[in-house]
Amino acid sequence: MDLGQVLLPAFLRESGVKSGSWQVGIQLAHFLYENPAMPGDGWGLFLKAGISDGNPNPFQGTISGGIGGKSFFKCRPNDTWGLGYFYYNLSDDLQDELDPLLEIDDEQGVELYYNLALTPWFILGFDLQYVNPGIGADEDAFIGGLRARIRF
């Protein structure tokens, strides 16, 4: 018996093709406001969702969506912002198989960000997240971030 047979759950040790599995997804985006002077720039809603039988897919259901786009401020036309939510319904089969090694649960979170375009080549981003983790943590997490992007 090799180490993989001892450490890996049965579904990871098996290979082959599964018949009869299914997955359905949808993705939508819609502008609530589009800048008449710059078509394609604006802000709006987005949604992405999917469901499956959960085997072999690790997710039985997912949904993410939010609102975001270009800045509201005419003096800041290159800034971007967003507010989003996600939920991952992890497969019951995956949870059952990993249970002896690792307890996992569904995961969800919210994110708010603003990208400040200081110049056309230098963007400073601010990010706040709340995550209710599905793996490895008993407590929710609040995460703040700062990032810089330099375009050469």
**Closest to 135 (Cα-Cα) out of 58, 57, 39:** 58
16 part of a folded domain: no
**Closest to 133 (Cα-Cα) out of 105, 110, 98, 93:** 105
Domain containing residue 97: CATH number: 2.40.160.180
Q: How confident is the model at residue 56 (pLDDT cuts 50, 70, 90)?
A: confident
pLDDT in tens, 81-106: 999 999 999 888 888 877 777 788 88
12 part of a folded domain: no
What does pTM read for this prediction?
A: 0.78
13 part of a folded domain: no
- Report the SS3 class of residue 23: strand
**Closest to 44 (Cα-Cα) out of 53, 55, 54, 35:** 35
**Torsion sign, CA atoms 106, 112, 116, 117:** positive
| Number of compact structural domains in the chain | 1
pLDDT of residue 139 exceeding 70:
yes
7 part of a folded domain: no
34 part of a folded domain: yes
Which stretches of the chain are assigned E, i.e. beta strand? 23-34, 42-52, 59-70, 80-90, 107-117, 122-132, 141-150
52 part of a folded domain: yes
70 part of a folded domain: yes
pLDDT in tens, 108-117: 999 999 999 9
4 part of a folded domain: no
Expressed as residue numbers, the domain containing 39 is 21-150
